[in-house]
Structure 1
Amino acid sequence: MRRRLVIVFLVPLVAILIALGGAAGWSAAGSVRQSFYTQQLGDLGYFVTSARQALRSGSATVIDAEVTRFREVYDIDVTVFDLGGGVWASGDQDAAALTEEDAERVRLALSGRRAEQPAAVYPWSVADAALAEPVFDDGDVIGAVMVAGDVEAPRAAILQQILVISAIALVLIALGVLLVFRLARWVLSPVGRLDEAMVAIERGEMDARVAEDAGPPELRRMARVFNGMADEIERVMTRQQEFALNASHELRNPLNALLLRVEHLATGLGTEWREDVEETREEGRRMTRILETLLGLARGGRGDSPMSAVDLSTLAARRRDAWRDVAGNRGIVLIGSGETSVMSVTDRTIVESALDAVIDNAVKFSPDGGQIEIGAHREGGACRITVRDHGPGLSEEQAAAATGRFWRSAENEDTPGTGLGLAIASDLLETVGGALTVAAAADGGLVVALQLHDRTTP
């Protein structure tokens, strides 16, 4: 994000500075050229007047002296031509052969054409050319004057102007880069702190907050809103933890009292009740494990599941037997299926709780006298516990939404329930890296699968 912000600000700034620098350099070069050619035309006008007088008198002595003196002082060559195009006066310098371009200029001047400022090839250059002007006498051309000035001085002046403007542009670009980076830091630093605080809260550090006195006003307001939201989330989670702690702690006393009463009653029962008493004890121990897990979750915000090797087939059989009487009240038969042994390393309490929620859901929606198949399977790299009922079933869209909290099918709104069973089972399995899938069976009913990793060693 910082890179994009720097590019957005820096590219237009550099483009504007380059455009302004180019315009300034163009203008400065044009000014130097114009000054040079204006001076050259002034010199040409002066010598045209002197050459007219000399050509009228027929004596080149005076004009030769002026040309010589002008060359010594200004290093500018002046040549006077007669009407035939021959050199009539050039000071004490021997007349050199004219170039083709200069000869053309002299020919045009003798034909009566006035001198024109030559066009530069580049805006930062000065054309290396001479200027020729006709000499008139009563409207007739009697000769021509050519001035060839030194162009090194204006070229050096133009180069100096370009270098100065380039240096100024580079300094301004450097200042612009520094300003843009400082602006980006000022704008994005609060965003970075917000991101770090959100990551910290995701890790469970609920006291993470951001400073509210840095950055633009909009981001300061965002920081205040974020801190308020974090405070509210922390309060809600604290209340939830306190509720879970209180509820689980308060449930332990009646559970212990219930287990003591079972032990007391068991002393007066015959041996034929031994299996039922043992099942009751096991259910009590399982409730105790659930309460301990709930206490751990409430204390730490997230539980460290006690992973151990679990035979999912045996676990499914035990939960099937535990629900047999409840299902039998409506004539529903619980049938075992799947493999005889499917080992996985997982949290026994969590898998049992999730399976209970799924079996409860299946019993609730199965028709009286129906049957439910419960069993464990190993498929590829995963282990599954499936619960297959023969109830009304769900469509594909309904099956996809069935694990959502408080979701209930429109056809079963009269059935008692809260719509939380499958959602709780799904959340429990996610804590051990598993997942819950819901799918419609081919011949009616529903297949709910508890997916677990195929880990056979702790």
Structure 2
Amino acid sequence: MRARLLVIALFLVGLLAVGLGVPLALADARSAQQELFTDRLTDTIFFASIAQRPITEASPTGLAGELARYEEVYGVAVTVLGRAGQLIASSRDVPPELDDDGQERVRLALANRRSEPYPLLMPWDPRPVVLAEPVLVDGEVHGAAVTVSPTDELRADELRVWSTVAAAALLALALGVVVALPVVRWILRPVRRLDEGTGRVAAAVLAGGAAAPVSDGSGPPELRRLSASFDRMADTVTQTLAAQRAFVADASHQLRNPLTALRLRLSNLDGHVDAAAAEDHLAALEEAERLSAVLDGLLALARAERATGSGTVDVDAAVDDRLEAWRPLAEHMGLRLIREGARGLKASATDGGIETMLDAVLDNAVKFTPAGGSITVAARPWPDRVEISVRDTGPGMAPEELERATDRFWRAPDQSNVEGSGLGLAIAARTAELAAGALRLELPTGGGLRVVVWLPVPAPPTPEHLS
């Protein structure tokens, strides 16, 4: 936008320079040409008057000397022609040749017509100024006096004027840039802060922290009001999202007590329920267990969203810890847990973030992998990130379901009867996002599902930390 505003400003300055400079240069050229025309017309009329006697007496000797002295002083060729166009006297031995316009002016002079002003001559037009005035004796035309004036000096002066105007226009453009650049920066400073602050505000809002203000009180009043409105909106969104998260966490926590009491009461009814209601009693217990799992998932999601402040995490320690924790259940289910990939990796993540993601992904892998299958956890380094992947040998899912699998409470249509709240992958994806990473689902060759988590590599220590 800054470039566009500068172009607009320079376009306006250019229009102003052209609008003022071109008429000025044209006016100066017309004035100089008019002055030349007036001087040469006066001299031509003078030569027409002194040529009367030599033409009538047929003695042009003295006239030729006068014409030669004039050309020697002023550099203007002068020729006197008779009534039939024959040469009477000239300032040169060979009179200058006339172009069509000059010959037309001579014909008009012999027809007792006065010389008309020349149209504006441009600096690149090399034509001389030809003026012809009739020689009158007792009101009758007896010949014509012709002056041929070179325009080299006139065109040189015009070129200097045009060059000065062009230099002034370039100087105006340069001054326009010098003046417009700080003005454009002042105008766009709020816009730039909005552009830079949007990402920071979005990250702060998603992390549940306070959004850094964008407005600094600079810029035009309209943009200052826009920045202030943006800050108020960011504060409102932050507070609303924080209140929503607090409500989810508080509601989930508060519901655990009555839910626990309900499960106890339902358990105490075991053996005291009529045979006809035994099936309903069992269904109520199952729904209570499912509700408890949903509340546990909501609490885990709330804790993940409250996690802030990424730090350097030992990937090996986190992966090995969760593999050892899940190994007994996997062996009980007839599954093999395999650890592959590089070791000695470090990643930037929230405290306990890798463990949270692995718990959520491994829980899904254990549930959906049939007995005899395997679950492979691998770590792989990249130049700017660390990749942690979990692959199972389960049924996988349809390609069109991959994008929705990380939505909250989403469950595949053919897996609605499997225990779970539909929050596991959502928790893992949110945890990766809070660490400036990402989570992606893939369908590898050979079947199953591969969950890939990318985490950024810790930034190298600054010189201050090294000292």
For the aligned pair, the TM-score class normalised by the smaller chain equals 0.5 to 0.7
Q: What's the CA shift for 1:176? A: 2.9
Instruction: Tell me the SS of whatever aligns to 2:110.
Output: coil
What is the rounded CA distance, in whole Å, between the counterparts of 2:345 and 2:248 in structure 1? 27
Look up the match of 1:272: none
CA offset at residue 420 of structure 1? 1.5
1:404 to 403, 407, 417: 407
Name the aligned partner's letter for residue 6 of structure 1.
L
Deviations 1:351-409 (A, max 9, x none): 5543443354456668xxx637343355876664434335xx52111133212333333
- Give the aligned partner of residue 424 of structure 1: 427
Unpaired runs of 5+ residues, structure 2, are 255-298, 382-386, 458-467
- Alignment partner of 1:185 is 2:179: no
Which of 227, 230, 233 lines up with 1:226 in the alignment? 230
Pick closer, same or farther for the CA change 1:308–1:25 going to 2, 3 Å.
closer
Distance 1:452 1:197 in 2: 25
For 1:307, the equivalent position in structure 2 comes to 314
SS at match of 1:408: coil
Structure 1 residue aligned with 2:6: 6
Matched residue type, 2:231: N
Aligned match of 1:97: 93
Structure 1 residue 424: Cα displacement:
1.2
Confirm or deny: 8 A CA contact 2:77 2:92 kept in the other structure. Answer: no
Contact 2:388 2:454 in 1 (8 A): yes
CA distance in 2, matches of 1:224, 1:441: 53
Whether the 8 Å contact between 2:76 and 2:148 is mirrored in structure 1 is: yes
8 Å CA contact retained: 1:433, 1:452: yes
Matches within 5 A, 1:64-213: 80-82=80-82, 85-87=86-88, 95-101=91-97, 109=106, 112=110, 122-123=122-123, 127-135=127-135, 142-148=142-148, 154-155=154-155, 158=158, 161-162=161-162, 165-166=165-166, 168-198=168-198, 200-201=200-201, 206-211=210-215, 213=217
SS at match of 1:235: helix
**What residue number does 1:284 align with?**
none
- Mark the CA change 1:16 to 1:342 in structure 2 (over 3 Å): closer, same or farther: closer
Give the letter aligned to residue 131 of structure 2.
L
SS at match of 2:335: strand
Matching residue's letter, 1:447: L
Aligned partners of 2:171, 2:40: CA distance in 1, in Å?
36
Cα root mean square deviation, aligned = 5.4
Gap change, CA 1:312 and 1:57, over 3 Å in 2: closer
How many Å apart are 1:54 and its aligned residue? 5.7
User: What amino acid is aligned across from residue 176 of structure 2 in structure 1?
Assistant: G
Counterparts of 1:191 and 1:222, CA distance in 2: 9
- Residue matched to 1:388: 393
Q: 1:86 to 1:183 in 2, by over 3 A?
A: same
Q: Does 1:321 align with 2:359?
A: no
**Deviation of the 1:196 alpha carbon:** 4.2
Provide the TM-score with structure 2 as the length reference.
Answer: 0.61
CA contact (8 A) 1:312 1:344 kept: no
Three-state SS of the structure 2 residue aligned to 1:375 is strand
1:129-148: CA deviation from partner (whole Å, max 9, x where unpaired): 54334435589753332335
The 8 Å contact of residues 134 and 144 in structure 2, kept in 1 or not, is answered as yes
Once the two structures are TM-superposed, the CA of residue 103 in structure 1 deviates from its matched residue by: 11
Partner residue in 2 for 1:330: none
Instruction: Label 1:8 to 1:374 Cα distance change in 2 as closer, same or farther (>3 A).
Output: farther
CA distance change for structure 1 residues 221 and 62 in 2, over 3 Å: closer, same or farther? Answer: same
| Distance in structure 2 (CA, Å) of the matches to 1:54 and 1:342 | 117
Distance 1:74 1:350 in 2: 97
Query: How far did 1:184 drift?
Result: 1.4
SS at 1:214 equivalent: coil
Among residues 235, 246, 253, which one is paired with 2:239 in the alignment? 235
Rg bigger for which structure? 1
Distance 1:292 1:60, change over 3 A: closer
After superposition, the Cα gap between the structure-2 partners of 1:413 and 1:339, relative to the gap in structure 1 and judged at 3 Å, is closer
Q: TM-score, normalized by length of structure 1?
A: 0.62
Paired-residue identity, %: 28
Aligned residue number for residue 283 of structure 1? none
Q: Which amino acid aligns with 2:197?
A: A
Matches within 5 A, 1:264-413: 298=306, 301-304=308-311, 306-307=313-314, 309-310=316-317, 312=319, 315-316=322-323, 318-322=325-329, 333-338=333-338, 350-361=353-364, 371=371, 373-376=373-376, 378=378, 384-390=389-395, 393-412=396-415
Greater shift in the superposed pair: 394-403 or 198-207? 198-207
Counterpart Cα distance in 1 of 2:96 and 2:400: 93
Q: What CA distance in whole angstroms lies between the structure 2 residues aligned with 1:338 and 1:106?
A: 107
Distance between the aligned counterparts of 1:340 and 1:193, measured in 2?
A: 45
Change (3 A) 1:85 1:200: same
Distance (whole Å) between structure 2 residues aligned to residue 32 and residue 410 of structure 1: 92
Query: Are the counterparts in 1 of residues 33 and 154 from structure 2 also a CA contact under 8 Å?
Result: yes
Change beyond 3 A, Cα 1:413–1:220: farther
Q: Secondary structure at the match of 2:403?
A: helix
Partner of 2:262: none
Matching residue's letter, 2:404: A
